[in-house]
Amino acid sequence: MTGAVVFGGVGFIGSHLLRALKGSGQYDELVCVDLVSPADPIDGVDYKIADVRQPLSADLCQSPDEIYNLAAVHRTPGHETHEYYETNIAGATHICEFARAKQTKKVIFTSSIAVYGPDEAPKEETTVPAPQSAYGWSKLLAEQIQQSWQQEGTDRKLVIVRPAVVFGAGEKGNFTRLAGALKKGFFLYPGRKDTIKACGYVGELIRTMKFMLEQDEGQSLYNFCYPDAYTIEEICQSFGRIGGLSQPKGVVPLPLMKLASLPFEVLNALGFKNGINRARIQKLVVSTNIVPAKLAASGYTFETDLDSALEEWSKTSLISGGFA
């Protein structure tokens, strides 16, 4: 009997992953473990409610061949410092304990490019991590916890993926917001037009997971994004080609953007929560220049590029004629 359990499987990436695993026909048991029930459950997936911040019951599933650790607190800024550590580190610890109890030999962990820290230099897998946020530190420590688990046995396999921005149907994140702003015709380039924003399609991400899991390595750590270093201007142009969306009308200087965010920070301090602040504004103008060197060295062939991925997304979008 072949089985897999996905922790954090109700979210964007987890839902796509579970559909792919189910569609492969290779699994007799698929279990999703999350804090909440899914809005759109997948037939054949057994959904369980559990909190990875607490020890996990061995009764969640039978003996899975694969464990996918997608559970995370990830929006930054947006959470208290302790929340990142409680979920990302305690979660990794408890999932490793669960793997030991179930004698599971394969773990796949979605980390983050936040472990590299923010700057303009290209980042390969050999780049020394330099996280500058609680989220980045918590992800790096979670990697190390799971690496220690793998080192306990030569028959164990660990795949760690550090994804850049991942987009696709149901994402509700950066690309969805960008598409919405372009459609309304009021998007302006934040600070500059040449900011590199490493990105990749969710379907491609899942294919890389399977590919790296099949490699003959005890530990595999890889960056996920397209090999082309797409700029924000090129991403907007791709949305224009594929979706007919209008293009930005100009560039807003960074100092003006930060000044405009101050009233929203005051509102935040008064208890009127919103997502606008200077830290988030600064993130918009810093490149995420990520290089998927490990995938290239391993012989992975991308099935999509930015244009073809946006086209596929538009066909599977949650709304007709758009990107959602």
Handedness of CA 296, 297, 299, 300 (dihedral sign): negative
Provide the pLDDT confidence category of residue 255 given band limits of 50, 70 and 90. confident
Other beta carbons within 10 angstroms of residue 43's beta carbon come to: 5
Looking at the DSSP bridge assignments, the partners of residue 131 are none
Give the pLDDT confidence of 26-51 residue by residue, as tens digits: 999 999 999 999 999 999 999 999 99
Identity of the amino acid at 35: L
- Which of 100-109, 142-151, 187-196 is predicted least confidently? 187-196
Helix-, strand-, coil-residue percentages of the chain, each rounded to 5 = 40, 15, 40
Superfamily of domain 3-186+196-232+287-316: NAD(P)-binding Rossmann-like Domain (3.40.50.720)
Contacts of 199 (CB under 8 A, 6+ apart): 164, 165, 166, 167, 175, 225, 226, 230, 235, 306
Q: How far apart are CA 235 and CA 182, in angstroms?
A: 11
Contacts of 248 (CB under 8 A, 6+ apart): 182, 187, 188, 189, 193, 236
pTM of the complete model: 0.94
Write the DSSP string, 22-84: HHHT--SEEEEEESS--SSPPTTEEEEE--TTSPPPGGGSS--SEEEE------SSSS-HHHH
- What is the pLDDT at residue 28? 96
Give the pLDDT confidence of 227-236 residue by residue, as tens digits: 999 999 999 9
- What is the pLDDT at residue 323? 94
Give the pLDDT confidence of 267-290 residue by residue, as tens digits: 888 888 777 788 878 788 899 999
**Looking at the predicted structure, is the pLDDT value of residue 74 above 70?**
no
Mean pLDDT of the chain: 94
Looking at the DSSP bridge assignments, the partners of residue 189 are 251
Strands 165-167 and 199-201, bridge-based pairing: parallel
- What is the pLDDT at residue 75? 58
225, 290 in Cβ contact below 8 A? yes
- What is the pLDDT at residue 274? 74
**In the chain, what are the domain boundaries?**
3-186+196-232+287-316
- What is the pLDDT at residue 78? 62
- What is the pLDDT at residue 70? 98
Provide the pLDDT confidence category of residue 244 given band limits of 50, 70 and 90. very high
Give the pLDDT confidence of 165-210 residue by residue, as tens digits: 999 999 999 999 999 999 999 899 999 999 999 999 999 999 999 9
